Structure 1
Amino acid sequence: MEFEFDTKKSQGNKVKHGIDFYEAQAMWDDPDLIEIPVKTSDESRFLAIGKISEKHWS
């Protein structure tokens, strides 16, 4: 899967949540990853819940 993201927003996410968007990509390596479709009017989105280094993220 290819990910696109804003570098400044990724840095802000690291400060606020302790993980940047580059690190968060590892969640898709979790064999037990759960993806739940989320209804939006303009695009397909999913809530993803997975584990990175023994910690759960969403």
Structure 2
Amino acid sequence: MKLSDDIREHANEYENDGYCKVDVNRLDDWADKVIQLKADNVALKEQNIMENKIKEQ
């Protein structure tokens, strides 16, 4: 499920309440980037842990 799915349902309500139009495609792009950065961060932490274990031996 995309992050914007929840917002997509309410985008018209936001506009009717005077907020700017929600660009759900851009929101999807940002959500995908955040997810990728989190995955990269986890991978780097795991790599660092393995390198430290090798150095300790």
Asked whether the two chains share a fold, i.e. TM above 0.5, the reply is: no
Q: When you count strand as a share of all residues, which structure comes out higher?
A: 1
The bucket for the TM-score relative to the shorter chain is under 0.3
Q: When you count helix as a share of all residues, which structure comes out higher?
A: 2
Normalising by structure 1, report the TM-score: 0.27
Normalising by structure 2, report the TM-score: 0.27
Q: Which has the larger radius of gyration?
A: 2
